[in-house]
Amino acid sequence: MSRVLVVGGTGLAGRAVAAEAIERGHDVVVAARRVPDDDSAQYVTGATYVTADLVTGDGLEEAVDGAEVVIDTSNAMGKQASHVFTTGARNLVHTAARFGVSRAVLLSIVGADRSAYPYYRAKAAQERVYLDSALDTRVVRATQFHDFVTAIFDRGRPFGALLSPTGTRFQPIAIADVAAVLMDAAEGAGEPDGIIQVGGPRVESARALAEQRKKATGSRRYILPIRLGGALGSTWRAGRNLVPEHAVDGVGYGAWLDSGA
Ligand SMILES: NC(=O)c1ccc[n+]([C@@H]2O[C@H](COP(=O)([O-])OP(=O)(O)OC[C@H]3O[C@@H](n4cnc5c(N)ncnc54)[C@H](OP(=O)(O)O)[C@@H]3O)[C@@H](O)[C@H]2O)c1
């Protein structure tokens, strides 16, 4: 058993990682700017919570103290992304190295290294901070989560539609499957300072996935094809979000929908 620090452990992926680490018998500390109430959906029973801010560095020493492994599942959007993914990552790896943390695992995105989309560029910069650090690092690049793909479709809700990006395929993955790969890496799987890629069990067109969502919810909304502009649209249409050679034998989108997620 090791002490594992999950930074961003109150978020979607972080909660699954904290739960998986506890399930595997580790001593788990979760760090985020806000600590959840113990009766909220964000609270993972068995974890210890500390307040820490990656960008200001407040609380980081207390968070890393005694940890053998740090797993970074933090997230930020817009202008905050570059602060959290560069300044924040630097603060975390330097503090972790000073406190004798031996290993770091970063959750990143498939294609982050091959896109001009600003968020992906910020993720690529975050990867470099980790890979250039003194810590034994594993970067885990995952494909889109089932929840994320669903959120894209549901952006059409105000128009009575499911939005479906044209010319786009996804390889969606269950967060629990990502959490298992992150924990394998935390326990030493993969090469030191290496990149591990992981994708969902199947590559399917956005339209085929939207059809599954429509059927599973019994929705009467129609599927509205949209051409996604900008660098994200071209990254996805080029298939840079896919790693069919690294498909997990895990929960597919249809089964995930059927589970009531
Ligand atoms: N969505 C996808 O399909 C997908 C696919 C592959 C990889 N990823 C990656 O997965 C990661 C996690 O995404 P997610 O959707 O699970 O994130 P999320 O639900 O938005 O959670 C973000 C977490 O980061 C924490 N956080 C934000 N700013 C912080 C700061 N300054 N200091 C400390 N903690 C901070 C948040 O807590 P507080 O706000 O309380 O601080 C929260 O715990 C991201 O890096 C993303 O790039 C996502």
User: How confident is the model over 151-201, as pLDDT tens digits?
Assistant: 999 999 999 999 999 999 999 999 999 999 999 999 999 999 999 999 999
DSSP summary character for residue 158: G
Decide which of 3.30.70.930, 3.90.1150.10, 3.50.50.60, 3.40.50.720 is the CATH code for 3-145+175-198.
Answer: 3.40.50.720
260 has pLDDT over 90: no
pLDDT digits (tens, 9 = 90+) for 192-249: 999 999 999 999 999 999 999 999 999 999 999 999 999 999 999 999 999 999 999 9
% of the chain surpassing 90 pLDDT: 97
The residue nearest atom 9 of ligand 1, judged by CA position, is 108
Specify the pLDDT at position 59: 98
The answer, yes or no, to whether any atom of ligand 1 lies below 6 A from the CB of 93, is no
CA of 8, closest atom in ligand 1: 43
What residue ranges do the domains of the chain occupy?
3-145+175-198
pLDDT digits (tens, 9 = 90+) for 102-148: 999 999 999 999 999 999 999 999 999 999 999 999 999 999 999 99
Amino acid at 213: R
Two structure tokens written together for 193:
């300072």
The answer, yes or no, to whether any atom of ligand 1 lies below 6 A from the CB of 200, is no
Residue 256 phi, psi dihedral angles, 5° rounding: -65, -45
Distance from C-alpha of 31 to C-alpha of 35, rounded to nearest angstrom: 8
CA of 33, closest atom in ligand 1: 41
* Residue the block writes with tokens 């549901």: 154
Distance from C-alpha of 256 to C-alpha of 261, rounded to nearest angstrom: 6
The answer, yes or no, to whether any atom of ligand 1 lies below 6 A from the CB of 109, is yes
Q: How far is the CA of 2 from the centre of ligand 1 (A)?
A: 23
Specify the pLDDT at position 36: 94
Specify the pLDDT at position 142: 98
1 has pLDDT over 80: no
The answer, yes or no, to whether any atom of ligand 1 lies below 6 A from the CB of 30, is no
Q: How far is the CA of 75 from the centre of ligand 1 (A)?
A: 3
Distance from C-alpha of 88 to C-alpha of 32, rounded to nearest angstrom: 12
